[in-house]
Chain A
């Protein structure tokens, strides 16, 4: 597995963490932190698409 593939796993888990933190923040009553978590999650998804496009010629192996 190349660094590209591992980075993809990392980005996926980071997205899950961002949305998870947002859910935790909303449950704790902090709307601002919750909204920040959702924004971070969306940002990470956008970054993930950008990085996949940028490294499209690099192998996953």
Chain B
């Protein structure tokens, strides 16, 4: 049985079926990310004064990731253009670049997540707060039993609010050293994971969902790159349309990042 309108445009919609399908899917994606962006706005405007974090994310890494995704959008377009002029070799080269750029993006994102997960805020028994990256925990460290010590590379502050704006002159001037804290002096110890506060919760949700989209898109692009040769030989026009559809999805994912980057990294 032949599937209709995989190459020819459907008379009533004016486009081929796969393109209509991907646009309907992208419309649902707009609602998904739109809902999460709305959640971000509500959480932010609802935060207590001085309690919304600034400067918690690495702008340089975010910029590099933006550059990687922008380049991958270009290579996706060029791969489609190569299919249009029936140059399969160029298609392979451009889509190999897309895959490599996407994997580099995910590698950097993983590094950023790891950096947050080894970053701890410790509420001390004396009312102060220690904040920094984990260096080591002693072998006998057990917070529940109050045994052992933990070492951070960071600093101690009087008020938790001092940890919120890392772009402030005070935060910039703070001296970071290795601090060893006994478990008996710890009231609460928590890393900068999703449950740390509403900012980290929405940060991990938005970027995690986005990273899953990148991963899914990469799998699809890799499939076309590795196994597309057979369809290219029998039906190049249909294959070209598939590349366009995957390119539309990829552009959507890149577009989401263009909004995520300034919202999360620069504000």
Q: Which secondary structure characterizes the binding site on chain A?
A: helix
> How far is it, in angstroms, between the C-alpha of A54 and the C-alpha of B76 when the chains are bound?
15
Q: Is B36 an interface residue (CB 8 A)?
A: no
- With known contacts A7-B73, A51-B77, A21–B266 Cβ distance under 8 A: yes
Interface size class of A (residues with CB under 8 A): 20 to 34
Contact A6 B258 (CB under 8 A): no
- Taken together as a complex, chains A and B put the C-alpha atoms of A2 and B154 apart, in Å, by 51
How many interface contacts (CB-CB < 8 Å) are there between A and B?
48
- Would you call A31 an interface residue if the criterion is a C-beta within 8 Å of the partner chain's C-beta atoms? no
Closest to B259 in A: A13
Q: Residues of B within 8 Å of A, CB-based: how many?
A: 26
User: Min CB distance, B7 to chain A, in Å?
Assistant: 14
Tell me the A residues contacting B by CB distance below 8 Å: 1-4, 6-7, 9-10, 13-14, 17, 20-21, 24, 28, 44, 47, 51, 54-55, 58, 61
Additional A-B contacts beyond A3-B248, A61-B15 (15; CB < 8 A): A2-B244, A3-B76, A3-B80, A3-B244, A6-B247, A9-B255, A10-B255, A10-B258, A13-B255, A14-B258, A21-B63, A24-B266, A51-B77, A55-B81, A58-B81
Which B residues contact A (CB, under 8 angstroms)?
14-15, 19, 23, 63, 66, 70, 73-74, 76-77, 80-81, 84, 167, 244, 247-248, 251-252, 254-255, 258, 261-262, 266
